[in-house]
Structure 1
Amino acid sequence: MRVSARDMMKDARYAPFAPTSHPHAPVVEPAPGRSRINRLAIVMMAVFGLLAARAVQLSLAGAPASARVAAPVAMPVLARADLVDRNGVLMATMLPSWTLAGEPEKVWDAAQAARRLATVVPGLDAAATERRLRSKSKFVHLKPGLTTSQRRAVHDLGIAGISFEREQRRVYPNGVLAGHALGSVNRDGAGAGGVEAALDADIRRAAEAGTQVALSIDTRIQYALETELADAAWGAKAKGGAGVILDGRTGEVLAIASWPQVDPNAPGAGTDVARLNRATGAVFEMGSTLKPFTAAMALDLDQLRLAERFDLTASLNVDGVTIRDPHPFAGPATIREAMSHSSNVAMAQVALRVGAARQRDYLGRLGLLEKPSIEIGGMPAPLLPRGDSRLTTAVLGYGHGLAPTLVALAGAYTVFTNGGARTNPTMLRHADGDPVRRTRVFSALSTQETLQLMRDVVVEGTARRADLGGLDIAGKTGTAEKPGADGKYDPDVLFSSFAAVFPARAPRYVIVLALDEPQRTAENGNLATGGAVAAPAVGRVVARIAPFLAHAPARPEGPRTGGGTP
């Protein structure tokens, strides 16, 4: 027979330490004229009787009443509201729970008690439990988080000196899904990481009001992102990975993932590598995914024309430092060709036209020079470039020298969904009719021209592997070298990414996916670049989530020619 939590509260078997009346106590009917006095007398006698019995109990224990710790007192329950996704799917809730406890001086045989308890409480360490039950402490905790059925099983053992503390535990019914984003709660019931920490006060207030907290996440999209990210990371033997999907119009985070995954139901488990949230809790140089911003800056300032050609047959010397392209061009190239094949030399020249001051101003309005204001705890500040020399300006043009979080990069890409205006990422569901705050960065015209460049990257450039089934994606790959142990960039230690918007004809959604230290594998053509490991995963994610977003794949385009290394 199943017993509900409410029934348990009523049933004396589930509250062995609560005072109960004797089932066969005589019923005394007071005289009609003195019933009120008799009732008062009975209450007073009962109170004094309980106090006297308690005093005797404490005196027999050999300790003053003020110092004696007796039966466990239930810890205060800190109410937390349910967390649900944008469609009402439950993501976090509170369930009744019990902490197994003991009073060592009342346990007759600690070894036997520990062995018996271990048979009904999963994960209970019998040896550790025996040591606690042999301690000189008046009261010890043995195991938190017992379910109602586990508590009943322990109760039915009838072991003297074993008791329970009623509490509530935070439960995440979807396991590892969105584990990093949700965070967890600590032993005191306070938020620890993720949304739980950032929205701690709001979650408590919602509980008091009897309401839920609706997050922006769509669990269907979250699942698609997490599974494709994991597949890509495994295939590339990567150290880790992360991904973000935004509704660029509102800034709502539809999915945000970090790999390896963590289970918020067991926040202490896993390695440090797994616990790191690579989407929000770490900063990386993003490399060439910043190149579209450099082009947009120059177009916005009338410092660049789409038809002009750059001499990319040689390297570029800036302040005594040589900037090269991995695969030099055979002749002059347009900005379309330079973007499609990710020329560092071209983008360094464009950045120098923009200039240091205006470059910093644009980067600031893109939100790349400060922490995003997203509702996730543990967000680091970006690593900023040093100084404003010509060299710094040039290398910033192709994504070196600035290390933001992945979610900050995703937020910056919202300019391509709003005609040049940026929206802040948010973990909260946007209510229809509520205003959306945007920051103007580029003109609508320069944004549209940059989108054309990004579409060419997918159709005939380094992101061709993302162009699956005519899904109309526009974006830019990135392959950034990470510093080695000596502080110098290591060409074999990479952060490979792809940042995109879709559908390109009427952009609304942003998707950014990155792999941390992918390896060159046969599965990826012995390449570890963003075009080889991240772009294909983005294509697969978009193919899976397009039906949820009411954007079926566009009609495939005809074949187009083009070369270049992903």
Structure 2
Amino acid sequence: MIKRLFASKPDAAPTAPAASIVVDARRKAGGRTRNRVLMTMGIFFGIYGVITGRLVYLGLQEPGAAVAPTVRGLAARPDIVDRNGEVLATDIKTASLYAEPKNIIDPDETLELLSTVLPDLEPEQTYNKLKSGAGFVWLKRQLSPKQQANIMALGLPGIGFRTETKRFYPGGETASHILGLVNIDNQGIAGLEKYIDSQGLADLRELGLATSGNLTPFRTTLDIRVQHIVRDEVKNALDRYHAIAAGAVVLNAKTGEIVAMASVPDFNPNNPVGAHDKDKFNRMTAGTFEMGSTIKSFTTAMALDSGKVTLQSRFDATRPITIGRQTIRDFHGKGRVLTVPEVFIYSSNIGSAREADVVGVEGHREFLHRMGLLDRMTIELPEVARPSEPKVWKKVHSITASFGHGFSTTPLQTAVGAAALMNGGYLMNPTLLPRTEEQAKAGATKVVNDKTSADMRYLYLLNATAPGGSGKRATVPGYRVGGKTGTAEKVVNGRYSTNVRFNAFVAAFPMDDPQYIVLSIVDEPKPEKPGMGATAGLNAAPIVSNIIRRSASLLGVKPEFGQTNEALLVSSQ
């Protein structure tokens, strides 16, 4: 039995059907193997074919030709235009110089010849580039047409040009602080140029969609004609009053649109050498100052709006106010009881302090916040300073704040607050983008009542027409200008200096229905002539007068010579 179990036996022959199945399976397996081999061979032949084709293509190129690395073409930027469609900033084509060092035979000679056209080339750095043996290096971006022509005439091997985009500002310095700057790669780095990038242009550039054919012009609220006048007047004032800086803004009181704004010293964006110097910032938005007696506009409005004071109220200004170590005096004291209009036109520090005392410390601080003077302003420009105020307000802070000392704000915010006092009490963010009165009012905040606004219009006009008013030099025949001066002593070495001032004048016109606010500033003015003073009425007010005289007709405000310029007190009740 055991032998039978383990004895070897020949395999039995498969039956006919089984043999057929085995043969078919082997045929199918062999077919799949051949397909895989053919597919693999095809892939390899395809790869080697592409490589061979590329080698043939390169072999047919001109001897010594270099292939520049991929450099993304500079994307276009939209034109910036004023409210009338005049171009303020646009793109132009320019040539940039590059080299192919591996094709340069003599770097010394090449550098020597290039320096005859471009003397500002840095010798050592440029020489190292030329002898590097690289395929592509930049030598000089954004050449002038004359420079390009002169370099081409040199006939240097290994030197070429690439067409790029450069920003051009037809007005030069005229609106430099508003328009801002771009860098060498045509990207916005300041002003509206930076704002435009933040609104989606930077994303379009990344996607390669920012081309000149698909970008609509960026329309602003500026009127380049008025902008030229404003810049011209503040530049003249800088020289005439021997100041360290000057500025002005024209603001639409109904919409908050900025029609013109300038600050000098400024810069030429086409050649922005020194643009980042510490004295060339936009003082209208990026500088904070104690605005002096212009703030008395808000102190008086606050007292009137509280309901505790009327234009017939009287305040004792017979003697100075002493609080702690400080004594509050009037610059030209009358030494008597003053009515509210007298407090305003005589610019009484004592009277303003007593107006603030009626409202109280917390009420005073709340009102200044309500008017937007103590919060960071919202506007399209990125260069905006944050106002400063005491961390804890005490009575002494309220008293000094009543006449514009002890807290700092920007000149533009002061103009915006003044617009609210003139337009019926509507505070609206300033803007460089066009909007209608309806759109502006929809986003505005009612900060004072109608009667307060009417009373303030009366006081502004009174200050320009009444005997003793400080706004006489801001008047313009036919346009009923009213306003308020501000002469603030600046802090020097921790103390207020009687000889170093920051002057301002805020005006509105025409006073029967104010359409525009004009505010000017002069930083550290000197007397125009020996023996003259240097107060705001003598320098900041004339700037406003000149701006209105030259620009009112351009703004569509018609003069009226038939009616009186005297202020008439009309109750709105």
Same fold (TM over 0.5): yes
Residues 1:241 and 2:249 aligned together: no
- Counterpart of 1:24? none
For residues 288 and 398 of structure 2, what CA distance do their matches in structure 1 show? 20
Partner amino acid for 1:324? R
For residues 285 and 111 of structure 1, what CA distance do their matches in structure 2 show? 59
- Counterpart of 2:57? 50
- Counterpart of 1:499? 506
Listed as ranges, the matches of 1:441-480 within 5 Å are 441-460=447-466, 461-480=469-488
CA offsets 1:491-519 (integer angstroms, 9 cap, x no match): 22211010111111101111111011111
Change (3 A) 1:435 1:286: closer
For residues 126 and 390 of structure 1, what CA distance do their matches in structure 2 show? 62
Q: Which moved more, 1:154-163 or 1:252-261?
A: 154-163
- Counterpart of 2:168? 171
Runs of 4+ in 1 over 6 A off after TM superposition: 42-45, 53-58, 556-561
- 1:521 aligned to 494, 516, 528, which one? 528
Verify the 8 A CA contact 2:75 2:210 in the aligned structure 1: no
Change (3 A) 1:293 1:275: same
Gaps of 5+ in 2: 1-48, 568-573
- With the length of structure 2 as denominator, give the TM-score of the two structures: 0.82
- Counterpart of 1:545? 551
Partner amino acid for 2:336? G
Partner amino acid for 1:343? S
- 1:438 aligned to 430, 434, 444, which one? 444
- Counterpart of 1:332? 337
SS in 1 for 2:166: strand
- Counterpart of 2:68? 71
Q: Which moved more, 1:546-555 or 1:374-383?
A: 546-555
Query: 1:132 Cα shift?
Result: 5.0
- Counterpart of 1:108? 105
CA offsets 1:6-28 (integer angstroms, 9 cap, x no match): xxxxxxxxxxxxxxxxxxxxxxx
Query: 1:117 Cα shift?
Result: 3.1
- 1:300 aligned to 290, 297, 305, which one? 305
Query: 1:157 Cα shift?
Result: 2.5
Verify the 8 A CA contact 2:428 2:440 in the aligned structure 1: no
Residues 1:191 and 2:188 aligned together: yes
Change (3 A) 1:432 1:345: closer
Query: 1:319 Cα shift?
Result: 3.9
CA offsets 1:25-60 (integer angstroms, 9 cap, x no match): xxxxxxxxxxxxxxxxx99976441345789979xx
SS in 2 for 1:401: coil
For residues 404 and 262 of structure 1, what CA distance do their matches in structure 2 show? 24
- 2:515 aligned to 508, 521, 535, which one? 508
Query: 1:106 Cα shift?
Result: 3.4
For residues 350 and 362 of structure 2, what CA distance do their matches in structure 1 show? 20
For residues 273 and 327 of structure 1, what CA distance do their matches in structure 2 show? 36
For residues 180 and 565 of structure 2, what CA distance do their matches in structure 1 show? 46
SS in 2 for 1:94: strand
SS in 2 for 1:387: coil
- 1:428 aligned to 414, 426, 433, which one? 433
For residues 266 and 131 of structure 1, what CA distance do their matches in structure 2 show? 26
Verify the 8 A CA contact 1:129 1:142 in the aligned structure 2: no
Change (3 A) 1:262 1:50: same
Partner amino acid for 2:167? R
Listed as ranges, the matches of 1:333-482 within 5 Å are 333-430=338-435, 434=439, 436=441, 437-460=443-466, 461-482=469-490
For residues 90 and 326 of structure 1, what CA distance do their matches in structure 2 show? 48
Verify the 8 A CA contact 2:308 2:358 in the aligned structure 1: yes
Q: What is the RMSD computed on CA atoms of the aligned residues?
A: 2.9
Change (3 A) 1:210 1:558: closer
CA offsets 1:234-254 (integer angstroms, 9 cap, x no match): 111010111111111111110
- 2:216 aligned to 188, 211, 220, which one? 211
For residues 390 and 175 of structure 1, what CA distance do their matches in structure 2 show? 49
Partner amino acid for 1:532? L
For residues 562 and 350 of structure 2, what CA distance do their matches in structure 1 show? 33
CA offsets 1:89-145 (integer angstroms, 9 cap, x no match): 001111122221224453334454344334555x64474676455554735432211
- 2:79 aligned to 71, 77, 82, which one? 82
Q: Which has the larger radius of gyration?
A: 2
Partner amino acid for 1:473? V
- Counterpart of 1:98? 95
SS in 2 for 1:500: strand
For residues 115 and 62 of structure 2, what CA distance do their matches in structure 1 show? 35
Gaps of 5+ in 1: 1-41, 59-68, 562-566
Change (3 A) 1:314 1:409: same
SS in 2 for 1:243: strand
Listed as ranges, the matches of 1:17-56 within 5 Å are 47-51=54-58
Verify the 8 A CA contact 1:74 1:166 in the aligned structure 2: no
SS in 2 for 1:178: helix
Verify the 8 A CA contact 1:420 1:441 in the aligned structure 2: yes
CA offsets 1:271-323 (integer angstroms, 9 cap, x no match): 71442111111111111111111111111112212123322231012344211
- Counterpart of 1:224? 229
Change (3 A) 1:434 1:328: closer
SS in 1 for 2:286: coil
Q: Which moved more, 1:157-166 or 1:132-141?
A: 132-141
SS in 2 for 1:141: strand
Query: 1:259 Cα shift?
Result: 0.4
- Counterpart of 1:17? none
For residues 431 and 298 of structure 1, what CA distance do their matches in structure 2 show? 31
- 1:316 aligned to 292, 314, 321, which one? 321
Matched pairs, number: 508
SS in 2 for 1:275: coil
Change (3 A) 1:109 1:347: same
For residues 165 and 248 of structure 1, what CA distance do their matches in structure 2 show? 49
Verify the 8 A CA contact 1:104 1:132 in the aligned structure 2: no
Residues 1:531 and 2:537 aligned together: yes
Residues 1:488 and 2:495 aligned together: yes
For residues 374 and 58 of structure 2, what CA distance do their matches in structure 1 show? 66
Verify the 8 A CA contact 1:96 1:147 in the aligned structure 2: no
- Counterpart of 2:151? 154
For residues 557 and 132 of structure 1, what CA distance do their matches in structure 2 show? 77
State, as a whole percentage, how many aligned pairs show the same letter. 33
Change (3 A) 1:189 1:270: closer
For residues 278 and 519 of structure 1, what CA distance do their matches in structure 2 show? 19
Change (3 A) 1:137 1:421: farther
